[in-house]
Amino acid sequence: MRKTHLPPLLLLLLFSFSISSQDNNDKHAKRKKEPKKKEKKEKKLPENIVEIPKVFALRPKYVLPSTLLDVTNRDGKGLRFNYAPFITGVVGAGVTIKSVYVSYSMTLPNTTAMELKYGKTDFYDIGLTIQNRIVGVDLYYQDYTGFYLLHPEKYYPGWSASDPNPQKPSLRTINAGMNLTFVTNHNFSPNAAFAQNERQKTSFGAFLISITERYTRLSNDSSIVPPTDAANFPSLVKLRLGNYYSSLLSVGFGYSFVHKKFSVTPVFLAGTGLLGEDNAFDHGSNTQLKVPVYADFKMAIGYNGNHFYTNLILNAELNSLPIDETRLRIYHGSLEFGVGVRF
C-alpha cells in the first residue's frame, strides 16, 4: 500500500491556522465574559449615588454624648425631676485607609470646681454601624455612672446657685443592644449623609423599618426621688435595681435635601413592642410585662466634596419605661462635629 506524505509547508500552514483559530476563540470568549463583569459593576451603585474612591481619609471630631433621666408620675401626681451625667465632651480622630477605618477618642478633663458642683461621671459610649444598600446594623453599649439633679431649687427650698447640685455618684444606667434597619429605596443613601463615603446626586427619601433588641439596667444604692416628692413615688423610692428587656418594631422616614455637594438629612423612627421588667426593691421584687414607647431622631448637615468634607450630626433617642406608678424616660443623645480630608 502506498502512503501519502503531506509536504512540510502544508503542515506548517495547518498548524499556524490551528493556533490562530484557538487564539481567536479565546479572545472571543473573553469578549463575551467582559460585558458580564461590566454589568455587575454597574449594578453596584444606583443612578442617584456617586462613589468617592479615595484611598486615604483623616477626620478629627468632637462628640458630646449624654443621657437624661426624666421621671414623672403616670397619674400626673407630684413634680417632674431630671438627672443628668456631667460630661464636657470627647475629642478624637479617625483614619480611613482603603476600606479599613481606625479611630481614637479621649474624654476632655473636668476642673475640680466643676466636679464639686456637678459630681463626676464615668462613662463608656461605644457604637458600631454597618450600612449597605438595604440593611443597616447598629450595635451599641452605653454605660454611665454618676448623675446630678437638674433644677434643685424646685425640690430643695434652701438651695442656692452657689451650692453643689444634689448628686447620685452610684446611680448607673446601662443601655446595650442592636438596631436592624431596612431602607426601602436604593436612591436614598444614609452613608452619603452620615459616613460621607459616597455622595447622593439629588434630593431623595425612603421609608424605613427597624427591629430593635435592647437591654437596659438601672441601679442605685439609695432613692433617686427628692424627699419632698417621695409620697408620689412609693415604688421608685424603694427601687434599687431594674433589668429591662425590650423587643421593638419601628417605622419611619428619611430624606436628604441635596444642593450640589451640600445636604441636610433628617431621619425619624417611632414604634413600640414588648418590655420585660425585673425590679428589685428594698423589700421584695416583681416581674412584669409592659408595652413601651420608642423613638429615634437623627439629622446630618454636611458638605461632601472630593477632598474636603464635614458634617454636624445630631442624634436623640427616647426609651420609655413604665415602672408601677412611675414613667421613666431615658433620653440618649449625642452631638458630633467632624472635619475630614481625603487623598
Computed over every residue of the chain, the mean pLDDT equals: 87
- Read off the pLDDT of each residue in 129-156 and give the average, rounded to a whole number: 92
Q: Are 294 and 272 in contact (CB under 8 A)?
A: yes
Contacts of 26 (CB under 8 A, 6+ apart): none
Q: Which one-letter amino acid corresponds to residue 98?
A: K
Contacts of 107 (CB under 8 A, 6+ apart): 87, 88, 89, 90
Q: Are 249 and 284 in contact (CB under 8 A)?
A: no
More confident residue, 329 or 95: 329
* Distance between CA atoms of residues 221 and 30, nearest Å: 73
Task: Identify the weakest region by mean pLDDT among 27-36, 79-88, 222-231, 246-255.
Answer: 27-36
pLDDT class for 54, splitting at 50, 70, 90? confident
Q: Are 330 and 216 in contact (CB under 8 A)?
A: yes
* Distance between CA atoms of residues 240 and 224, nearest Å: 9
Domain ranges across the chain: 50-342
What is the pLDDT at residue 19?
45
Is residue 37 scored above 80 in pLDDT?
Answer: no
- Read off the pLDDT of each residue in 174-179 and give the average, rounded to a whole number: 96
pLDDT class for 8, splitting at 50, 70, 90? very low
What is the pLDDT at residue 155?
93
Q: Which residue has the cell 464636657?
A: 88
The pair phi, psi for residue 238, each rounded to 5°, is -95, -5
- Which set of grid coordinates corresponds to residue 264? 441636610
Is residue 210 scored above 90 in pLDDT?
Answer: yes
What is the pLDDT at residue 240?
95
What is the pLDDT at residue 129?
86
The 10s digit of each residue's pLDDT in 262-317 is 999 999 999 999 999 999 999 889 999 999 999 999 999 999 998 999 999 999 99
What is the pLDDT at residue 38?
46
- Read off the pLDDT of each residue in 247-262 and give the average, rounded to a whole number: 97
- Read off the pLDDT of each residue in 237-251 and give the average, rounded to a whole number: 96
Is residue 5 scored above 70 in pLDDT?
Answer: no
What is the pLDDT at residue 21?
47
Is residue 33 scored above 90 in pLDDT?
Answer: no
* Nearest Cα to Cα of residue 187 among 175, 199, 172, 173: 199
pLDDT class for 31, splitting at 50, 70, 90? low
Q: Is 250 buried (19+), middle (13-18) or exposed (0-12) by CB count in 10 A?
A: buried
**Any idea which architecture 50-342 has in CATH?**
Beta Barrel (2.40)
* Distance between CA atoms of residues 303 and 306, nearest Å: 10
Share of the chain above pLDDT 70, in %: 86
pLDDT class for 130, splitting at 50, 70, 90? confident
